[in-house]
A = this chain, B = another copy of it.
Amino acid sequence: MKKLINDPANVLSESLLGVAAAHPELRVDHEHKVIFRADAPRPGKVGLVSGGGSGHEPLHGGFVGHGMLDAAACGEVFTSPVPDQITAATNGVDGGAGVLHIVKNYTGDVMNFEMAAEMAGATGGAEVVAVVTDDDVAVQDSLYTVGRRGVGVTVLVEKIAGAAAEAGRSLSDVAAVARRVNAEGRSMGLALTSCTVPAAGKPTFDLPADQIEVGIGIHGEPGRTRVPLAPAAELARMLVDPILDDLDFAGDGVLAFVNGMGGTPLIELYLMYHEVDRLLAKAGVSVARSLVGNYITSLDMAGCSVTLLKLDDEMLRLWDAPVRTPALRWGL
* A93 within 8 A of partner (CB): no
Q: Is the CB of B212 within 8 A of A265?
A: no
Q: How far is the CA of A3 from the CA of B62 in the complex (A)?
A: 27
Decide: A19 near B270, CB < 8 A? Known: A5-B231, A263-B300. yes
Q: How far is the CA of A270 from the CA of B299 in the complex (A)?
A: 13
Q: Is the CB of B262 within 8 A of A262?
A: no
Distance to closest chain B CB from A143 (angstroms): 21
* A12 within 8 A of partner (CB): yes
Majority DSSP secondary structure for residues of A touching B: mixed
Task: Name A271's contact: one of B2, B14, B232, B294 (CB within 8 Å).
Answer: B14
Distance to closest chain B CB from A76 (angstroms): 11
Q: Which residues from B are CB-within-8-Å of A62?
A: 266
Count the A residues whose beta carbon is within 8 Å of the partner chain — how many? Answer: 62
Q: How far is the CA of A16 from the CA of B271 in the complex (A)?
A: 7
Interface residues of A in 1-26 (CB under 8 A from B): 2-7, 11-12, 14-19, 21-23
Q: Which residues from B are CB-within-8-Å of A18?
A: 269-275, 277, 292
Interface residues of A in 258-282 (CB under 8 A from B): 262-275, 277
Q: How far is the CA of A167 from the CA of B290 in the complex (A)?
A: 29
Q: Which segment of A147-155, A157-165, A217-225, A324-332 sits at the interface? A: A324-332
Q: How far is the CA of A209 from the CA of B7 in the complex (A)?
A: 18
* A235 within 8 A of partner (CB): yes
* A192 within 8 A of partner (CB): yes
Task: Name A297's contact: one of B23, B58, B192, B265 (CB within 8 Å).
Answer: B265
Kindly list 14 other residue pairs between chains A and B, CB separation below 8 angstroms, not including A19-B270, A264-B300, A266-B294: A2-B192, A5-B231, A6-B232, A11-B267, A15-B270, A18-B269, A23-B290, A57-B267, A77-B267, A263-B263, A263-B300, A263-B302, A265-B299, A324-B330
